[in-house]
Structures are given as structure tokens and as C-alpha cells.
Amino acid sequence: MIYLETPKKFQALVAQAHQVAQQVFRPISRKYDRAEHTDPKELDMLAALLDGMNEAGGTGGAGAAGVRRESQSQNDGANRNGSNLSTVLGIMELCWGDVALTLSLPRQGLGNAAIASVANEEQLARFKGRWAAMAITEPHCGSDSAAIRTTARLDGDHYILNGEKIYVTAGHRADLVVVWATLDRSLGRAAIKSFVVEKGTPGFEEVRLEHKLGIRASDTAAFVLKDCRVPKENLLGSPEINVEKGFAGVMQTFDNTRPLVAAMAVGLARACLDETRRLLERAGIEIDYRRAAAQQSAAAAEFLKMEADYEAARLLTLQAAWMADNRRPNSLQASMAKAKAGRTGVEVALKCLELAGAVGYAEGEEGAGLLEKWARDAKILDIFEGTQQIQLLIIARRLLNKSSAELK
């Protein structure tokens, strides 16, 4: 059974993550938003501290956890609150401070989550302590990951990769990039595998950094792979192509990373709500939880509606993470959490901006402070790791028991 309170063993972690968000991220948030592509050096020491916490506690923290269901039994009846739950709780707090700075923490990338989920024990040991980004999107295929054209051809002890990858979060600063490529285009999604490519590998070239609407403190890179030779030991998961299993091997990564992105949206939404509550109270508008919304001011009624959406997104995110910790299939719940939280983050950020009026729209340090920045940051959380529309499609397939060919 899932419990709705923060587990006692994670309360200290949550408090520490909130302290980091408040005392480290918030003071430098505007600085690195304005100085796009500048490396936030303040995060290096913080990342080392997080590494130490994760090593000591063994429960993840604010870093990348993995969905490794084979390591424990699904049927022993015990309730486990493990690394997946602790990670989303930590991320919620850190993203209350700043989403982009959370994404910029060394060794906490989405590629690290992929490695943690799929790698074998030898790979886990070999890539330990390295910062890994994840490269999926290509110029001709955005939401349809199954349409990937980057190819991987086995040549002796290496795979030769050719293709192009765009919108790689933390791709410039990371040490490794987990690249999705197909072993055989004619076999469709079943042939798609993920490969760990080390920066500096010949044939793996960074071609540009993107200028973005939001999360400007986080770098987003584009890469070209031209006859890039990757050791076959860097393939994550089985090299065998199983047409019946299809996309399941690489898609297991999303069961982990989608709740992480949902947690980012939940943290950002709460930051917006906290700031808007302060502004409403300063304007003399009371939010009374003892009265129906219809009996209060329009602003208070809107705020109560946003809080309800926020709470639904938060609980769905916790459920998806808890299911991963307890080795239960969570693909449906991961997509539900991502869809609800992504949409809620955008809607809450824009509505809070509207309620704050001109004060919220300005970049000034006074008044609403970061509301306009959070509104810009929010949109990406409804896009990457699968757009809102893709999540709804996945949910419909799961609920109706339809294949991707049957329901497009």
C-alpha cells in the first residue's frame, strides 16, 4: 500500500534539498538565466556533496535512480520506499528552486537514469561517477522515437554509429551521451538500442548549442555521428533483436525518467503557487479553506483550483515512483504522471502570472521576482521525455489494450 506522507527516512533528504533550492539555486537563478551557456560553477561542489549523500545513504537522493525490477521479488508483500521515490521527492524540492540548475547538476542527467535502469553490473561499475546525457530526438522525428534513423552497425568489437541528434539536455557538459540508434531500420522499433558514447570519441561531434525560451541555465546540444566507433560493450541491454518484445527494452528507461520530469513540473508549480499566495495575501485577498470556492473572490477560487490540480499531479508522480521501487509495471502510471504534471505546470505558471498582473510579467527582483521566468521554464516540462499528446496516446493504448499499430 502506498502512503501519502513523506517517509520518515526521506524527511532529512527533502529538507536538505529544499535548503539547497532556497539558499543556492534561488539566489543565482536569474544570473544564469541571463547568462545562457555559462557553466554554473557553484554546482560543482554541490554535486560532490550529493554524490557523498548518495554513497552514504544508498537511496538516491536528488540524483538519477533506475528501474531495476529483476533485483527484488514483486510478490513478497513488503512496502518499499526506495531510490525512485527519494529521487522524485528530492527533485520536487530542487525544482522549487530552479529547474534549469537542477538539470545542470553534474552526474544527475537523464542519461544516468538510463544507465541505472538498463546497464549490467559491469557497465554500472565502469560508468560510475560519470555524467551522462541522453540523445533520442532527431531533426525528422520528434515525438515518434520509433522513427529514429541513426544507425548502428556491428563491425568486429565495435558498433559504427551514423546519424544526427538534437535537443540533448546537458549534452555539452556531460562526459557521456546515451545515444539511441537502430540496428536494422526494416525491423522498426524492435531494432532500436541505446549506446553509451564517450565525449571525445572520433566521429562524435557537437555542432551547436541551442538558444531557448526557458531553462536557459541548462545547455542543450546538437550532435552529428559520422562513422563513430563505439565498443560493443557500451551497448545497454541485450544486443538481440526481439520483434515480439518490440520497443520494451529501451522504453524501460522512460518508466524512470518520465516521473522525474513530472517531479520537475510539480516542484515548479509549487514555487508558482507559493509566490502567488504571498502576492495575494499582500493584496489583502484571503484564501479560506473552510469555505467553498464559489463563496470567495475570483482570485481565491482560481488559486484553490490550481492547488487541486497540483495535488493530483504530485500524487500521480509519487505513485509512479513508488511502483518502480516495488517492482511493479508502471508504464501507464509514468505516462499519467508526466501528462498531468506537465500540463499542470504550464497552466499553473501562466495562471499565476495572470493573477500577478504587471508585477508578475516583469523581470525585476522585487515583487513577483521569478514568476515570468518560471512561466518560460514550464513549457519544456510538457514537451521533453514525450509530449503531452504522446503521453495521452500511450495512456489510451494501455487502457484500451491496443498496440501502436492499432491506435495511432
The model's pLDDT over 287-339, given as tens digits with 9 standing for 90+, comes to 999 999 999 999 999 999 999 999 999 999 999 999 999 989 999 999 999 99
**Residue predicted with more confidence, 279 or 58:** 279
For residue 72, what is its C-alpha cell? 527484488
pLDDT at 250: 62
- CA pair distance 133, 347, nearest whole angstrom: 28
For 159-203, the pLDDT digits (tens) are 999 999 999 999 999 999 999 999 999 888 889 999 999 999 999
Q: Does 347 participate in catalysis according to the annotation?
A: no
- Mean pLDDT, to the nearest integer, of 370-383? 96
Closest by CA to 105, choosing from 32, 6, 184, 1, is 32
Annotated catalytic residue: which of 93, 138, 372, 385?
385
What pLDDT digit, counting tens, does each position of 256-285 carry? 889 999 999 999 999 999 999 999 999 999
Mean pLDDT of 124-131: 93
Judged by DSSP in three states, 238 sits in: coil
| 8 A C-beta contact, residue 380 and residue 314 | no
Q: Specify the pTM.
A: 0.92
CATH topology of domain 8-126: Butyryl-Coa Dehydrogenase, subunit A; domain 1 (1.10.540)
- CATH 3.30.70.890 applies to domain 248-400: no
Domain ranges of the chain: 8-126, 132-236, 248-400
CA distance 261 to 67: 15
Is residue 43's pLDDT more than 90?
yes
Cβ-count burial 388-398 (b if 16+ within 10 Å, e if not): bebbebbbebe
pLDDT digits (tens, 9 = 90+) for 91-119: 999 999 999 999 999 988 888 888 888 89
Q: Does CATH place domain 132-236 in 2.70.150.10?
A: no
Q: What are phi and psi of 221, to 5 degrees?
A: -115, 160
Q: Are 135 and 176 in contact (CB under 8 A)?
A: no
For residue 78, what pLDDT is reported?
76
Q: What is the pLDDT of residues 74-94, one digit of tens each?
A: 546 678 888 889 999 999 999
